[in-house]
Amino acid sequence: MHFGFPVAVDARDGRTAWVVPAQSDMARMAIGGGLCVARTTDGGQSWQTFRQGLPQEHAYDIVLRHGLDVAGDSLCFGSSTGNVYLSEDRGETWQCLGNNFPPVYSVRFG
């Protein structure tokens, strides 16, 4: 993973983090038209991508800097196109909580 605005770090393990990657700063769009979340467990040396439950065609979602949060095993992110997604298994699978909201600038667990 070379580019992505939001980064969420595991509070229990600082070597584990998630990012919603984009192509680049100049091309702020989902990689290959499909949305994914990447996770590292070794401080960024390697990354694993997860796509299950996320759109894989015509995805125009960009997640802004504060649009991703983690609490325990749960992650949530919202996109600039108003889509919100939740994972309850450390980012391995996702479900859509809603579409076509106004742009989502921040997501936080309470």
Residue 18: how many CB atoms within 10 A of its CB? Answer: 25
Supply the pLDDT for residue 23: 74
Amino acid at 41: T
DSSP labels, 94-108: -EEEESSPSPP-B--
Supply the pLDDT for residue 32: 81
Amino acid at 42: D
Instruction: Indicate the domain borders of the chain.
Output: 7-98
Per-residue pLDDT at 16 exceeds 70:
yes
Overall pTM > 0.75: yes
Supply the pLDDT for residue 72: 96
